[in-house]
Amino acid sequence: MAKTMYEKIWDTHFVHQEPGQAPLMYVDRHLMHEVTSPQAFEGLKIANRPIRNRHSILATLDHCVPTKLADRINLPDPIGAKQVATMVNNCEEHGLVLYDMQSKNNGIIHVVVPEHGFVHPGMTTVCGDSHTATHGAFGALAFGIGTSEVEHVMATQCLPQSKSKTMLVRVNGSLSKYSTAKDIALAIIGQIGTAGGNGYVIEYAGEAIEALSMQGRMTLCNMAIESGARAGLVAPDEKTYAFLEGKEFAPKGEQWDQALAYWKTLPSDADAQFDRVIELRAEDIAPQVTWGTSPEQVIPVDKTVPAPSDFEQEGKQLACASALEYMGLEAGTKLTDIDVDYVFLGSCTNSRIEDFRAAAEVAKGTSVPERVTAIAVPGSYQVKEQAESEGLDKIFINAGWEWREPGCSMCLAMNGDQLKPGQRCASTSNRNFEGRQGKGGRTHLLSPAMAAATAAAGRFVDIRELEA
Amino acid sequence: MEKYVKHTSVAALMNRSNVDTDQIIAKQFLKKVERTGFGVHLFHDWRYLDDAGTQSNPDFELNKPVFAGAKILVTGDNFGCGSSREHAPWAIADYGFSAIISTSFADIFYNNCFKNGILPIVVSTDELKSLMAEIEANEGVAFTVDLENQSVSTPGGINIEFEIDGFRKRNLLEGLDDIGLTLQHTDKIDVYEKKHQQQFPWLWA
Ligand code: SF4
């Protein structure tokens, strides 16, 4: 029978099903950070259970980590410092690989894992973090789990899992040069909504997806969770193999050939059936900016902020009204007339080297207005070094940006980087929830190039008009 | 975990959609390394007027005295969207809720509820409307949640049957330890792992 990629991975990882219980799925890779793991280690200790396969685990410190060098050494927040120390102790005690703050490999978990080739096509991968979906870019089934499940995987290397439904999102045609993977991700969420993917694993396909770089695919899959999907997947291809080859944890020699032969069997069969199919035309995807407090509240940059009456459903009308109030916006305002106070370039969605290149190209020779703060936060030390070797740091600094150390930073604001109440931020991260970037902070999601253009103008800009 | 029993309790109404995990438990409370004590921080930014959490916000629905001690939360679509943080259900359980009724829940949050003795109940849009209407008309009304029979019933005569996965139901009713259940199949995992090692040697290099 014809199978989707998801079904192939599912079948390969099926361990056992006890009558009356959920199927057990085997887990190949387990990623970890300091926020969602301490209670899992504690649980293991209380039950006196060992870790089944410590080699399946890779850990980093990212959420609590300050992005100012001096603060990284002193960790000003005692509670955050305790969480960091707990992670370091837990990893030492169990012999786990940890990219701690002193490591040149340190960075955001979803940025460092691909840098080392730790996740391959066809693998099952979990992490106590919803943006684990990122690794679907490699054709791996990767999804976020809760802390109880983190403990479960450590103890058993398995998870009881119900099978998801499958959705194919096909993006045909080619993107204009101003639109990016981020714009595709936002446009899809705008179309299906933040609950549209509930119960599904999404496979992204079509010419526009094939044309994306691995980094673009990571950005896209990263935001699968923002549409409610369990995971996002892109079929592996030559780009995937080229990206992995030679990386630390990639197969070597004869095993590379073996792995490659297997990976080529993974893409969905031509006649495989999906439970739901959505099609978009890449040509229609303009640069996107969110205006509200949910990623589905998004519009093309040249449009105006909607009114509650623009929505049919009562729930959406209410959500629109409350978002407008929280965001301090009036319906009918042109996005490009809205001033910002802050610009954040970073997060596991958009903090890879290509993101910095795209933003630097726009930032070059510009100057951030006095009243605006713009921070550029690389996703990892590897990204930071690469950017510095290309002179990108100078471009940002000369334009008036701050150039920081890696970490989650203002994506979730639990590390010292945060908005003040009422401040408006153009952000390349993935969530514009109320208070996500600081209590009372107002977040607008967009692509790196759009963020750089916004920083230069102090307000949202349609980058398609910059060159005209 | 404790066994989940049939209960009758005040049903609190929070008529909001897409309540995300950042609202349920704000990031400044994620730094603790324990599982306990998150209840006082539930819905912090809505619930309190000050950052320290000493002044209760009288406009926040759950602060209404009639909802004190409620074990059932009735709320809008797509509850629990956002992050995987289990701190969200920890906070909800610690606050005292043991059942949440909505039309839909985000996937990871839904999963996390079962690990913490919380029953997430999915009802239709019309059913939700009628439950909400009954609370609005009679604030402080108590609903009955019966997991065994998969039903929610109200003094106003509403009786809703809900769907739930058989194994999740059993685990909750019997208060079973998920990890312990999986460990009973260690022999099967061993066999699987051997086969896996042969098939994918590069994963074990
Ligand atoms: S960058 Fe943001 S979304 Fe990504 S792992 Fe860190 S906090 Fe989560």
Question: Is B2 within a domain?
Answer: no
Q: Are residues B128 and B198 in the same domain?
A: no
CATH architecture entry for A288-462: 2-Layer Sandwich (3.30)
Interface list for A 125-154 with B (CB within 8 A): 128-130, 132, 143-149, 151-152
pLDDT for B71 equals 97
B-chain residue closest to A12, CA distance = B196
Is it the case that residue A8 has pLDDT exceeding 70? yes
Q: How confident is the model at residue A397 (pLDDT cuts 50, 70, 90)?
A: very high
Q: Which amino acid is at A207?
A: E
Give yes or no for residue B39 having a pLDDT over 70. yes
CATH 3.40.1060.10-classified regions of chain A: 165-284
Distance CA B64, CA B71 (A): 14
Q: In the predicted model, what is the mean pLDDT of residues B74-84?
A: 92
Q: Are residues B168 and B190 in the same domain?
A: no
Summarize pLDDT for A202-238 with one digit per residue, the tens. 999 999 999 999 999 999 999 999 999 999 999 999 9
* Same-domain check for residues B190 and B134: no
8 Å CB contact between B112 and B86 = yes
Locus of tokens 């409610």: A228
CB distance from B33 to chain A under 8 Å?
yes
Taking CA atoms, B169 is separated from A22, A119, A320, B146, in Å, by 11, 34, 36, 11
User: Which of B27, B77, B170 comes nearest A195 by C-beta?
Assistant: B77
Higher pLDDT among residues B31 and A382, named by residue? A382
Give the pLDDT score at B132. 98
B27 contacts in A (CB within 8 Å)? 412-414, 436
The answer to whether the beta carbons of residues A339 and A327 sit under 8 Å apart is: no
B98 plus B189 within the same structural domain? no
Q: Which of A15, A35, A195 sits opposite B188 (nearest CB)?
A: A15
Q: Is the pLDDT of residue A468 over 80?
A: no
Is B108 in the same domain as B83? yes
> Is the alpha carbon torsion for A255, A258, A261, A263 positive or negative?
negative
* One domain for residues B108 and B151: yes
Over the Cα atoms of chain B, what is R_g?
A: 19
Which residue from A225, A418, A429 has its CB within 8 A of the most atoms of ligand 1, so it is best to mutate? A429
pLDDT in tens, A437-465: 999 999 999 999 999 999 999 999 999 99
Give the per-residue pLDDT at B114: 94
3-class DSSP state of B147:
coil
What is the CATH number for B43? 3.20.19.10
Domain with CATH 3.30.499.10 in chain A: 22-160, 288-462
What is the reported pLDDT for A290? 98
A85 touches chain B (CB under 8 A): no
Which tops the pLDDT comparison, A209 or B178? A209
Asked if B122 and B190 sit in the same domain, the reply is no
Chain A stretch 232-251, residues whose beta carbon is closer than 8 A to a beta carbon of chain B: 251
- Check whether residue B106 and residue B197 sit in a common domain: no
Question: What digits encode the pLDDT tens for the residues A299-309?
Answer: 999 999 999 99
Whether B79 is covered by a domain: the verdict is yes
Q: Are B77 and A36 a contacting pair at CB < 8 A?
A: no
Across the interface, do A47 and B165 touch by the CB < 8 Å criterion?
no
Residue A331's pLDDT is what?
Answer: 98
pLDDT digits (tens, 9 = 90+) for B2-15: 899 999 999 999 99
CB of A436 within 8 Å of a chain B CB? The answer is: yes
Which residues in B42-60 are b (16+ Cβ under 10 Å) and which e? bbbbbbbeeeeeeeeeeee
Measured between beta carbons, which residues in chain B are less than 8 angstroms from residue A230? 107
**How many angstroms does the Cα of residue B131 sit away from the middle of ligand 1?**
37
Sign of CA dihedral A381, A384, A385, A386: positive
Share of chain B above pLDDT 70, in %: 100
Residue B1 belongs to a domain: no
User: Are B29 and B92 in the same domain?
Assistant: yes
Q: What is the mean pLDDT of residues B134-142?
A: 97
Q: Which of B26, B35, B111 sits opposite A435 (nearest CB)?
A: B26
| Count of domains forming chain B | 2
Residue A62 near ligand 1, beta carbon < 6 Å: yes
Give the minimum alpha-carbon distance from A337 to chain B in angstroms, rounded to a whole number.
28
* Min Cα–Cα distance to chain B from A452, Å: 26
Asked, for residue B92, whether it belongs to a domain, the answer is yes
Give the length of chain A.
Answer: 468
pLDDT the model gives residue B32: 84
Return the residue of B nearest to A231 by Cα: B107
Going from the Cα of A366 to the center of ligand 1, the distance in angstroms, rounded, reads 28
Q: Alpha-carbon distance A276 to A283, whole Å?
A: 22
Per residue in A87-126, pLDDT (tens digit) is: 999 999 999 999 999 999 999 999 999 999 999 999 999 9
Residue B38 domain boundaries: 7-174
What integer best gives the mean pLDDT of chain A? 96
Residue A67: predicted pLDDT: 95
Same domain as B155, residue B185: no
Tens-digit pLDDT profile for residues B48-78: 999 999 999 999 999 999 999 999 999 999 9
pLDDT interval class at B34 (50, 70, 90): confident
Instruction: Evaluate whether residue B192 is within a structural domain.
Output: yes
Q: How far apart are CA A203 and CA A452, in angstroms?
A: 30
pTM: 0.94
Most B CBs within 10 Å, among A65, A120, A149, to test the B interface: A149
CA separation for the pair B190, B193 (Å, rounded): 5
**pLDDT beyond 80 at A167:** yes
**Chain B: closest CA distance from residue A418 (Å):** 11
- Tell me the chain B residues in contact with residue A232 when contact means C-beta distances shorter than 8 Å: none
Same domain, B188 and B139: no
Q: Which CATH superfamily is domain A165-284 in?
A: Aconitase, Domain 2 (3.40.1060.10)
Cα A126 to ligand 1 centre (Å): 15
Distances (CA, A) of A398 to A226, A387, A395: 34, 14, 5
Would the CB atoms of A16 and B192 count as touching at under 8 Å? yes
Residue contact B78–A195, C-beta within 8 A: yes
**Which of B18, B83, B202 lies nearest to residue A194, judging by beta carbons?**
B18
Q: Is residue B44 part of a domain?
A: yes
* Higher pLDDT, residue B82 or A407: A407
The answer to whether A361 and A463 are in contact (CB under 8 A) is no
One domain, residues B142 and B195 = no
Position A87 scores a pLDDT of: 96
Report the residue of B44, B47, B84 to disrupt the A interface, i.e. the one with the largest count of A CBs within 10 Å: B84
Q: Cβ(A412) to ligand 1 under 6 A?
A: yes
Element (H, E) at B95: helix B87-95
pLDDT band at B27 (very low <50, low <70, confident <90, very high): confident
CATH superfamily of A22-160: Aconitase, domain 3 (3.30.499.10)
